[in-house]
Amino acid sequence: MKRILRVILVELAGLYIAAQVAGGLTFQNQAEGFIITGIVLGVAMFSVRPLINILLLPLNLATLGLFRIVGHTLTLFIVDVALSEFEVTGFHFSGFSTTFFDFPAIDFERGAWAYLAFSILIWFFTALINWIRK
């Protein structure tokens, strides 16, 4: 129980940060829809994603783990289809520039690229949160 609660809280935080960094995630009833989406995403990451990763294991082994993000993308898509409170309308990143880094603006319409971009962003922030937590 404690482990699934931790996964839900980390996914909520990753979803929140990703929604702040890039536009395209829409939640009905703002806070309520966001919390419901975070809970369902956390439960899906805990239960559905391992099943998807087992099905994609041969491709994951062939690509030395690079195909694992597809499991995360499929899980995000399943959550989008299952919930009426949540929708990925596209991926709109306005860009970021500092002295050391220059990230260009990225804009994907609704589709597989938008899901892939958001799943990479959510994965990055959840991995960062888990790394800081340990």
Domain locations in the chain as residue ranges: 2-86+106-127
CA distance 32 to 98: 35
Q: Which amino acid is at 9?
A: L
Mean pLDDT of 52-71: 86
CA distance 87 to 105: 21
At 91-112, the pLDDT tens digits run 999 988 888 889 899 999 988 9
Q: pTM of this prediction?
A: 0.87
Q: Which amino acid is at 127?
A: A
Q: Is 124 exposed, middle or buried (0-12, 13-18, 19+ CB in 10 A)?
A: middle
Task: Give the model's pLDDT for residue 67.
Answer: 83
Tokens of 87: 């929708």
